[in-house]
Chain A
């Protein structure tokens, strides 16, 4: 009798001890989590560009009142958007700060996912092209951290051989003809079925004075304008390149990286690409590029779509937003201002090749040391006069609709603008699947 009743009692005591130990461990862990007497930790979701610099910025901008910790987003822009949207749609209160591709800002702001920013975060000092990306419905929902833009990169020797005067603005026609005239020379672009292809199409259309859509803030009721002279001029450029001998063999799947090796292979190439290219070609044992080759690298403003109109270089970059459901919105707004200050912008430009969003940062002596003055001026001028992509709560839909009609490049002809306008209008009205 005593033996049988003693066993359950012993088991119960053992269970109590285990439970107490578990509670102690759990309590200790929770206390450790609330480090430094409950000091809040702001989570900053960053895209995987310049991560090391961003980590340093996070540390510098942490204060006695809060810490900033970085969390890495996926590599692709689409995946970044989906991951952030999933958190914000679920009203996640730990999404305090986030790096946003400029085209996400209108979508996220319209959905009510972004905290409004003070008006003074965008000033005269902010370059026009990137300043435009953080405004939605006459309010400001993010702060520019870096401003990316595209320029025309080329081999000086190739331009000389083709007889193309690069001291004056050049058109796409001239660039394609020049590359076609030299055996083995090519023109590098981004024409895979993805967002960067829309970046190219948008720049071509804007370069001819048109727009893909206008009155974009009307959402589904926006005016679809791509079926225009400008749209047809854009289609003519793509058609011409796709059918010319200057087209790279992987044109339909080309991206920012695939056209890089062609610069120093054979006679070289003309390539429209982002600012990172300059640092990428810096001579090193890894990339096998010599000082002589590097000297041969040239740059010029983004080509014109039509001869009599200035080009509108693409504007990219990163804006920093604050989650509308963050538990520490005031701290996060304050942190976002620190994260995007001049010191951060200069550090990102010098160490990671991600160019500043403000004129002040462009004037920093560190930048003058790291980049040739004419290249710096070109970047700055390109961002300032760049053309943003359509600002719409339906941007993802617009982008996908454009991609599905304009891809692949060798299918583009003068009927493409009309076809894409009809399809885009139907998709926005919910009358066609995408």
Chain B
């Protein structure tokens, strides 16, 4: 280690450089210059749209009636938050998120174990498991829509307890199930990839030691493997939960939001893109943004994982 590295940790740790040190000030200026382009890009691509949506959300504004635009304050938020449609869509969205993430966690872990332990045809097996994730969501949505339609789909034929003429998209419950199946099929590989990375970090020595101590496979799983994967599981659940909360493509393709399958993202899309109601659409987008933050916060709290520790800091 050279002497240069001795001086920098103070800056890295965020401590105030000693006053009067020309070198510290110069380093500070350099750091600011180096970071500035990234900050500007972030502001342009992230902060500007968010602030613009926030600003638009205070207006009653239809794209096709620009002259009717008027400032309505928090009226759009009050309308959204007091409307049963908003809460129904939030409920449906949370249902999508909870069910798909729970099922994906279990199947994804099984896949991760298979990919981790497989000793023959490793490449083929890993590729087979990951294929669905390589398919574009819209394409998989169409594929599953065709699979579930009673005219030419195979699902009714494969399920002996289902009538051949059963219309999966005719009622809320079966339509939600069909959308969930498509979502789970598509994104379980992503979950298993993240869990595989976590699994690879669990020390084989620990597992071996537990085995020597007489721990059964089940005990090794619950007492050694899973606790040591907590950070990886949290990251996998967090990523997938946020993704599932913003579910849109499968609904768009499979039901277009009909029969009560609409998510909060879809409601926002309809208001903004189909109805051209930029004010209400922006208010819904802001509420969507805030609820995503809330979901992320709750998951981090639930797993009680120190993210800094998870990053190895």
Q: Are A433 and B65 touching (Cβ within 8 A)?
A: no
- Once the chains are docked, how many angstroms separate the CA of A430 from the CA of B74? 12
Instruction: For the complex formed, measure the closest distance between the CB of A257 and the CB atoms of chain B, giving whole angstroms.
Output: 13
Given contacts A220-B65, A253-B170, 4 further A-B contacts (CB under 8 A): A219-B65, A430-B76, A433-B280, A434-B271
Within 8 A of B (CB), among A53-94: 78, 82, 85, 89
Within 8 A of B (CB), among A360-417: 393-394, 396-397, 400
The size of the chain B interface, using a CB distance under 8 A, is 28
Residue of chain B at shortest CB distance from A432: B83
The answer to whether A85 and B63 touch (CB under 8 A), given A78-B274, A396-B274, A430-B280, is: yes
Q: Are A400 and B60 touching (Cβ within 8 A)?
A: no
Q: Which one of A104-112, A163-171, A174-182, A311-319 is at the interface?
A: A104-112
Q: Are B65 and A400 touching (Cβ within 8 A)?
A: no
- Once the chains are docked, how many angstroms separate the CA of A143 from the CA of B104? 55
Specify which of B64, B67, B75, B279 is in contact with A107 (CB 8 Å cutoff). B64
A11 at the interface (CB under 8 A from B): no
- Once the chains are docked, how many angstroms separate the CA of A85 from the CA of B76? 23
Residue of chain A at shortest CB distance from B85: A433
User: Which 9 residue pairs of A and B lie closest in terms of their CB atoms, listed nearest first?
Assistant: A107-B64, A393-B65, A433-B83, A111-B64, A433-B85, A393-B64, A430-B60, A219-B65, A219-B68
Residues in B with CB closer than 8 Å to A107 are 64, 276
B86 at the interface (CB under 8 A from A): yes
B291 at the interface (CB under 8 A from A): no
Residues in A with CB closer than 8 Å to B271 are 433-434
A7 at the interface (CB under 8 A from B): no
Contact with A along B71-107 (1 / 0, CB 8 A): 0100110011001011000000000000000000000
Q: Are A89 and B63 touching (Cβ within 8 A)?
A: yes
Q: Are A397 and B76 touching (Cβ within 8 A)?
A: no
- Once the chains are docked, how many angstroms separate the CA of A180 from the CA of B6? 93
B116 at the interface (CB under 8 A from A): no
Q: Are A112 and B85 touching (Cβ within 8 A)?
A: no
Within 8 A of A (CB), among B166-208: 170
Q: Are A394 and B274 touching (Cβ within 8 A)?
A: no
The answer to whether A193 and B65 touch (CB under 8 A), given A396-B274, A430-B280, is: no
Instruction: For the complex formed, measure the closest distance between the CB of B72 and the CB atoms of chain A, giving whole angstroms.
Output: 7
Residues in B with CB closer than 8 Å to A400 are 274-275
Instruction: For the complex formed, measure the closest distance between the CB of B194 and the CB atoms of chain A, giving whole angstroms.
Output: 35
Within 8 A of B (CB), among A104-142: 107-108, 110-112
Residues in A with CB closer than 8 Å to B72 are 430
Secondary structure class of chain A's binding surface, majority of residues? helix
Q: Are A394 and B79 touching (Cβ within 8 A)?
A: no
Residues on A lying within 8 angstroms of B by beta carbon are: 78, 82, 85, 89, 107-108, 110-112, 193, 219-220, 253, 393-394, 396-397, 400, 430-434
Cβ contacts A to B, 30 pairs, < 8 Å: A82-B274, A85-B63, A85-B276, A89-B63, A107-B276, A110-B67, A111-B66, A193-B258, A219-B65, A219-B68, A220-B65, A220-B68, A393-B62, A393-B64, A393-B65, A393-B68, A394-B62, A397-B62, A397-B277, A400-B274, A430-B60, A430-B79, A432-B85, A433-B79, A433-B80, A433-B85, A433-B86, A433-B271, A433-B280, A434-B271
Q: Are A397 and B275 touching (Cβ within 8 A)?
A: yes
Q: Are A108 and B270 touching (Cβ within 8 A)?
A: no
Instruction: For the complex formed, measure the closest distance between the CB of A164 and the CB atoms of chain B, giving whole angstroms.
Output: 32
Q: Are A433 and B267 touching (Cβ within 8 A)?
A: yes
- Once the chains are docked, how many angstroms separate the CA of A82 from the CA of B63? 12
Residue of chain B at shortest CB distance from A193: B258
Residues in B with CB closer than 8 Å to A193 are 258
Q: Are B64 and A394 touching (Cβ within 8 A)?
A: yes
Residues on B lying within 8 angstroms of A by beta carbon are: 60, 62-68, 72, 75-76, 79-80, 83, 85-86, 170, 258, 267, 270-271, 273-277, 279-280
Residues in B with CB closer than 8 Å to A111 are 63-66
Instruction: For the complex formed, measure the closest distance between the CB of A248 and the CB atoms of chain B, giving whole angstroms.
Output: 15
Q: Are A82 and B76 touching (Cβ within 8 A)?
A: no
- Once the chains are docked, how many angstroms separate the CA of A397 from the CA of B276? 9
- Once the chains are docked, how many angstroms separate the CA of A82 from the CA of B275? 9
- Once the chains are docked, how many angstroms separate the CA of A219 from the CA of B62? 10
- Once the chains are docked, how many angstroms separate the CA of A393 from the CA of B275? 11
- Once the chains are docked, how many angstroms separate the CA of A93 from the CA of B72? 33
Q: Which of A107, A193, A433 has the most CB of B within 10 A?
A: A433
Instruction: For the complex formed, measure the closest distance between the CB of B93 and the CB atoms of chain A, giving whole angstroms.
Output: 15
Q: Are B276 and A431 touching (Cβ within 8 A)?
A: no
Q: Are B79 and A396 touching (Cβ within 8 A)?
A: no
- Once the chains are docked, how many angstroms separate the CA of A225 from the CA of B63? 25
- Once the chains are docked, how many angstroms separate the CA of A400 from the CA of B67? 22
Residue of chain A at shortest CB distance from B60: A430
Specify which of B60, B63, B270 is in contact with A434 (CB 8 Å cutoff). B270
- Once the chains are docked, how many angstroms separate the CA of A394 from the CA of B271? 12
Instruction: For the complex formed, measure the closest distance between the CB of A424 and the CB atoms of chain B, giving whole angstroms.
Output: 13
- Once the chains are docked, how many angstroms separate the CA of A431 from the CA of B267? 16
Q: Are B276 and A396 touching (Cβ within 8 A)?
A: yes
Residue of chain A at shortest CB distance from B257: A193
Residue of chain B at shortest CB distance from A396: B275
- Once the chains are docked, how many angstroms separate the CA of A110 from the CA of B63? 9
Instruction: For the complex formed, measure the closest distance between the CB of A42 and the CB atoms of chain B, giving whole angstroms.
Output: 24
- Once the chains are docked, how many angstroms separate the CA of A393 from the CA of B270? 17
Residue of chain B at shortest CB distance from A404: B85
Residue of chain B at shortest CB distance from A221: B68
Residue of chain A at shortest CB distance from B165: A249
Residues in A with CB closer than 8 Å to B66 are 111-112
- Once the chains are docked, how many angstroms separate the CA of A107 from the CA of B280? 18
Residues in B with CB closer than 8 Å to A396 are 64, 274-276
- Once the chains are docked, how many angstroms separate the CA of A3 from the CA of B273? 62
Q: Are B79 and A431 touching (Cβ within 8 A)?
A: yes
Q: Are A110 and B65 touching (Cβ within 8 A)?
A: yes
